[in-house]
Amino acid sequence: MAKAKKASTAKSKKGNEGGNQPFVILIILVLIGISIYGLQHFSTVSNFEPITLDWKYTQKNEPTTTTSTKNKPREVKKESGQTKPSERKSEKKEATPPPIPSKTEKEQPVETVQPNEDLPTYTNTDQYYFSRSFDFAWPSYTQDDQIIEHEFYTLKYNEKTEQADWVAYKLTAANLKNARFKRKDNFRADPAVQTKSAHPDDYKGSGYDRGHLAPAADFTWDENALSETFYMSNMSPQAPGFNRGIWKKLEEHVRDWAMDNQEVFVVTGPIYTEKGSKIGKNKVVIPDGYYKVILELNGNEVKAIAFLMENEKSSIGLYEYAMSIDDLEKKTGMDFFPSIPDDLEDQIESQYNYAAW
């Protein structure tokens, strides 16, 4: 019985040894595989170089897109103390501005008009005054003012009074000698006034004349110029005794002065009180008086004179109404001839001599 048990134990031992063989073989194969991998890995890392962490690996959870970024730099938020590879390779140089070229020519001084310099003499064919680039004889005005330029005279229209604040023009001896057209009294609204001018009917039954600011008799040398003086923008309500008396006399004297001095610049306009009376459907304001300024610039001779008259009949001599331009500016609040150099303007406007005319 004991012999049989021993034999059974030996058999069992032998069976166990046979059962462990596959496990041993597996372990051997694993060890062989590890050995082979170790040899291959060693041959790979033998040429290894230290890797510098690139900036792109610091971006976590970066979204994946299908948009091509070929030849397109990637925008990356620069972290504190961190530099881009391109910045590490080379410092970016600031662009230096090109050198300023030296001047080869000297700057010429700007020519200015001197007070004592001889003034130029213009020919009778010059129409420089009537172009927009030359407003030499115009009183001061603003960009908001309604400036109307007709062929041979210019005016500033006032919609509140339905007449011109001033009318300016040049009067020459050559033109006056060529007078040949007769007036036709074709009073009409001025189509150039954007806000619409007064109408001839505004004066009907008012007891006032449609008085010219730029006289028709000053333009009888040109048919169109004469016709344009009958625009209602050139009219102002004048007392008949004034229009046909002292005012007409002044206009005649101005023409005589133009003949004697070859050419003169004339500026004419009305003056008002705060509560002036009105006439007509368009409520044309009746002026309290009128002014006229005459400027003569011919060669070396320079002179000017102003007149201010009440809108009423008068038998007083013209010289009683004469004054300097400075005095007229104080009474009207206007600025005449602002385009003249200041020193020369002061000389012209501060004095007058009626006898010199």
- pLDDT, tens only, 268-315: 999 998 778 999 999 999 999 999 999 998 766 789 999 999 999 999
- pLDDT, tens only, 196-237: 999 999 999 999 999 999 999 999 999 999 999 999 999 999
The pLDDT of residue 341 is 79
Question: What average pLDDT score do residues 172-199 get?
Answer: 94
Residue 47 counted as an annotated binding residue = no
Domains of the chain plus CATH, in order, are: 145-356 (3.40.570.10)
**Is 253 marked active-site?**
no
Is-contact 299 322, C-beta < 8 A?
A: no
Query: Which one is catalytic: 41, 150, 199, 212?
Result: 212
For the question of whether the overall pTM of this predicted structure is more than 0.95, the answer is no
The pLDDT of residue 244 is 98
